[in-house]
Amino acid sequence: MGSVTVSRPGESTGARRGLTAVRVSRCVRDQLGVASRAVVVGVQSRACRLAVQSDGPLLILSAPEVPLAPNGIAIEVAPDVTMADAGFRVGQTVTLSPDDPGDCDADWLVVLGGAATWEPRPLVRPVAPSELDGRLRITRAAAMAEGAGESFLPLLWASEGDAGAHLSGAVRVAYVPARLLCEAAIRGDAESVAAAAGGLAGLGPGLTPSGDDFLSGFAAAWTLVGESLGLDSAQRQRVASALFSGARAGASALGSVWLGHAVRGELAEPIARFVGALFAAEPRDLVPAARGMLAVGASSGTDWTVGLLLGAAATLKATKRGLR
């Protein structure tokens, strides 16, 4: 079983097509049973979205060069073949199994057994608040210089005391709930955190709107930076859980999944690489890693970065308030 066989658009091979997984997120292995049946719910150039049946998770099936998401599986696909040209269609069935079950009647079989397992939760080590603040300033400078223009990037300078009167579009709408989210998290006010998150979830266009990406970055920072700084674990959990519960109703399907991973510190590969650099003994790789995070999607990486920076700043302030 190797690389996918290509069929012309609209053509059916009339038989199950087999794929070999080359890398699998640890979260996917944790979520799937011995063999799981999924349905294709979205097809992009080099990735598909799969919904595991019986209220299972939403997964990303992607080509090997696509960075893994925490809910991701990388499969063998030729570099010049799109998922649509390979034959993937919305509504097709996919069996995900450790090995070939033999009697599988799905349109696709993905064998996971020999794939390498990737860990989406980066290692966190204690970093002194002053040192962490300096590293975050470097990251902020990179975001200001190279972040996507059509994003929540203006929230970085609006958060420094500007009333936000010059903002427009979705950023203007996001200004007040983003500020309230930061203030509520610092106080440990779970009810206000949930209300603010509800005002940001689903805000903006795209498969994962800017509001969803921002909230995921904020949640990841609150969880992981809080762990590094020694913020009380119950406090971290209370705020993160409130953020997720407040956002869930308004977030996009994929945004909600990634937010659920973010509150546990499970991140997409470029963002996990940045967090690893943020907590490294020496931050030599910090700027290249920040650039890699910013480059995710058209604006998703920038929105993640803005949320992460504001979430980290809120965590530092909460720590100084003695919320341990």
pLDDT digits (tens, 9 = 90+) for 238-284: 999 999 999 999 999 999 999 999 999 999 999 999 999 999 999 99
157, 298: one domain: yes
Closest CA to 231 of 312, 168, 169, 111: 312
Helix (H) or strand (E) holding 96: strand 93-97
Which of residues 118, 153, 188 is at a domain's end?
Answer: 118
CA distance 198 to 251: 8
Judged against a pLDDT cut of 70, whether residue 160 lies above it is answered with: no
Judged against a pLDDT cut of 50, whether residue 11 lies above it is answered with: no
End-to-end CA gap in the chain: 53
Q: Report CA dihedral (213, 216, 218, 221) to the nearest 10 degrees.
A: -130
CA distance 62 to 48: 6
Residue with tokens 């300096």, as numbered in its chain:
134
Per-residue pLDDT of 34-53, as tens digits, reads 789 999 999 999 999 999 98
Q: Which pLDDT score is estimated for 34?
A: 79
Which of residues 58, 90, 118 is at a domain's end?
Answer: 118
Does any domain span residue 309? Answer: yes
Which of residues 118, 138, 167 is at a domain's end?
Answer: 118
169, 301: one domain: yes
CA distance 73 to 27: 10
Q: 0.75 exceeded by the pTM?
A: yes
290, 256: one domain: yes
Q: Which pLDDT score is estimated for 164?
A: 60
Average pLDDT value for the chain: 91
CATH number at residue 77: 2.40.50
Per-residue pLDDT of 133-150, as tens digits, reads 999 999 999 999 999 989
Q: pLDDT grade, residue 6 (50/70/90)?
A: very low
Q: pLDDT grade, residue 324 (50/70/90)?
A: very low
DSSP string, 276-296: HHHTSSS-TTHHHHHHHHHTS
Does any domain span residue 7? Answer: no
Distances from the Cα of 95 to the Cα of 76, 104, 190, 243, angstroms:
16, 7, 40, 33
81, 190: one domain: no
145, 168: one domain: yes
Does any domain span residue 273? Answer: yes
Q: How many domains are contained in the chain?
A: 2
Q: Which pLDDT score is estimated for 161?
A: 59
CA distance 52 to 71: 12
96, 204: one domain: no
109, 244: one domain: no
Q: Which pLDDT score is estimated for 165?
A: 58
Domain that holds residue 286: 129-320
141, 80: one domain: no
**Most distant CA pair in the chain, distance:** 64
